[in-house]
Structure 1
C-alpha cells in the first residue's frame, strides 16, 4: 500500500508539472509565455518623448518695429539695437538672447530683423528674411504702429491684422516647422498717455506727431477725446486677442499672456526724448518678460 501511494504521488507530481509547463503560469500572468534571458528581468521603460517646447534654444531672431530696434533709447531719432530687449548685447539690458545663450554666443547666434516704423503687414517679409538664419527661436513684437495712426479711421482693421500675422507664421513654418515663436503683446497705449499727459515736455513732443490717434491733444478730456482714446485702446486689445488666438493654434508658439500690455512702465522706463519708446531700463523690463515666458 505504501509503495502504491508513493507511485500515485509521483504520477500526480509529473502531471502537475506538465500542466504548469504547458499553461505557462509565471510572474507575467495569464497565458503569456514566461520571459527568458534578459527579458525576464523586466521590460525596459519607453524613452520619454522630447518636449515640444525647448526652454533653451541655441539661436534667436527678432522681428517687429521700433521697440525692438531700440529706437530713441540711446540717442534722439536713432535706432540702438545694442539695447534691444530681444537681441541687444549691452549688460544693462540683459536681453532675451543674452539670457538664453550667454553674451559671447548671443553676438554670433542672434539676429535683429525688426524695422522702425514697421506694422504687422511688414512682419511676413521680415519672417522671410529670418528663415535664412534658421533660428531656433523667433521673437515677435508688432502692432503698436497699427494702432498709432494719424486717426482712428486709419488704424489697421482687426481682420487685416489677423491675416498678416497668420501669413507671418505660415512664412516661417514653410521653411522652419520646428522653430519656436515668442509673441509679445502690444503695449498699453492708454497707460502711456496717462503717464505723460501732465508732463509739458511730453505733450510738446507728442504734438510733433507721435501716436496721434492716442497721444494727440493729450490735455483734452472732452467726450470726443476720451472716446478717441477708448477706441484706440479697444483696437489694441483686439490685436492682442488676435495674437493670442493665432499663436494658440501653433504648438510651438507662446504668447506672453498679455504681460507686456499689463506692464506699467514708469516715466523712467520711457525714452527721455519721446516719452513713448522704452528707455534702456524699459528694454530690460521687456527682456525679463520675454525670458520668463520662454523658460517657464
Structure 2
C-alpha cells in the first residue's frame, strides 16, 4: 500500500536533519571527509612557538674582561706601566670600585673575575682573548677595545672598518663556541679627539705624547693647520665607524649589550686623565668608566 504523503515528508525531514548534524560535528572537530570517505583534519597546523629571548641577568656571578690598555689600567699608577688593580672592569682599588667589585663584592671579585686585556691590543687580537675568557665560562664578559686601531703612526695605518668588523665577529664566535650563555657588555671606543683637546692643555702630557703615544691623533699636538685638523677629524670619524660596528655586531647577539655610545660621549676632564700621559684614564677616569658600565649592566633594558 503506498505511503501517505505526510509520512514521506517526515522521513525526508529526518534525513536532512541527520546530514546537517553530521556536517556540523565534522566542522566542530576540525575534520572533513577524504575521497575515501574517512575523516581528515582540516584545521590549520600550529606554527612552532618562537624561542623566548633570554632575559638579561643584572646580577652575574662571575666576570671576565677583554680589551686593551684602558682595561689594564695603563699609566694610571706609574708612567708607561700597567696597573690592573685600578681597572674599571676587574680592579680591586677601593677608590675605583670596579664593575666586578660593584657586582660581586670585593671578596668574590678577587676570585670570580679575570682580566685578559693586553696593552696595545687591537681588534685583530681580540679573538684570542675571547677564547681565553670563554674557557672560564664567565656569566659576563666586558669588552673595551678599538682605540689602538685608530691610534697608529699615521691615518693610513688605521685598521679598515671592514677588518675591524670581521675581527669582532670572529671574537663573538670564539666566545659563543666556548661560553654560549655568557652575557657580553660592549663599551664604545672613547672620543680620542676629546682626549687630545683636554690633554694638550698640560705641557708635561704633551712631552710624553712625543714618545709615540697615538701619533695619528696626538702628533704635533699644537698644530692647528688644515692638514693637522683634517688628520684628527679622520681619526675621529674612524672611531665613530668602529663604534657603529660594535653596536651592529652586538645587536645580532641576543645576550650582548652595547653601551649606546656612553663612553664615547663622556666628557673626560683633566681630573679623569692619567697624570703621567694625560691621555689614558687615571684612577678617577677608571672610576667613571666603572660607573658607566655598572649603570648599563644593571639597567632594566639596553641604552636607547
Same fold per TM (> 0.5)? yes
Deviation at 1:51, TM superposition (A): 4.8
Of residues 137, 149, 152 in structure 1, which corresponds to 2:152?
A: 149
* Structure-2 separation of matches of 1:144 and 1:152: 13
Q: Which residue of 1 aligns with 2:73?
A: 70
Deviation at 1:77, TM superposition (A): 1.4
Of residues 131, 134, 137 in structure 2, which corresponds to 1:134?
A: 137
Matched, 1:295 2:298: yes
Check conservation: 1:52, 1:251, Cα contact below 8 A: no
Q: Which residue of 2 aligns with 1:4?
A: none
Of residues 261, 272, 275 in structure 1, which corresponds to 2:275?
A: 272
Matched, 1:250 2:253: yes
Of residues 83, 87, 91 in structure 1, which corresponds to 2:86?
A: 83
Deviation at 1:50, TM superposition (A): 8.8
Deviation at 1:52, TM superposition (A): 2.1
Of residues 226, 231, 238 in structure 2, which corresponds to 1:228?
A: 231
Q: Which residue of 2 aligns with 1:113?
A: 116
Check conservation: 2:123, 2:145, Cα contact below 8 A: yes
Larger mean Cα displacement after TM superposition, 63-72 or 192-201: 192-201
- Residues 74-108 of structure 1, C-alpha deviations (whole Å, 9 max, x = no match): 11111111110000011101100011100010001
Pair 1:293–1:235, CA change in 2 (3 A): same
Q: Secondary structure at the match of 2:70?
A: helix
* Structure-2 separation of matches of 1:202 and 1:77: 12
* Structure-1 separation of matches of 2:255 and 2:169: 14
Larger mean Cα displacement after TM superposition, 279-288 or 201-210: 201-210
Of residues 286, 289, 293 in structure 2, which corresponds to 1:286?
A: 289
Q: Secondary structure at the match of 1:131?
A: helix
Deviation at 1:198, TM superposition (A): 3.1
Check conservation: 2:53, 2:254, Cα contact below 8 A: no
Q: Which residue of 1 aligns with 2:244?
A: 241
Of residues 177, 182, 194 in structure 1, which corresponds to 2:180?
A: 177
* Structure-1 separation of matches of 2:195 and 2:278: 8
CA RMSD of the aligned region, Å? 1.4
Of residues 205, 209, 212 in structure 2, which corresponds to 1:206?
A: 209
Q: Secondary structure at the match of 1:69?
A: coil
Deviation at 1:282, TM superposition (A): 0.4
TM-score for the superposition, normalised by structure 1: 0.82
Matched, 1:263 2:266: yes
Q: Which residue of 2 aligns with 1:160?
A: 163
Check conservation: 1:198, 1:219, Cα contact below 8 A: no
Pair 1:156–1:196, CA change in 2 (3 A): same
Check conservation: 1:61, 1:138, Cα contact below 8 A: yes
Q: Which residue of 1 aligns with 2:11?
A: none
TM-score for the superposition, normalised by structure 2: 0.80
* Structure-2 separation of matches of 1:276 and 1:84: 15
Q: Which residue of 1 aligns with 2:128?
A: 125
Deviation at 1:185, TM superposition (A): 0.3
In structure 1, runs of 5+ residues without a counterpart are 1-29, 31-48
Check conservation: 2:202, 2:278, Cα contact below 8 A: no
- Residues 11-45 of structure 1, C-alpha deviations (whole Å, 9 max, x = no match): xxxxxxxxxxxxxxxxxxx9xxxxxxxxxxxxxxx
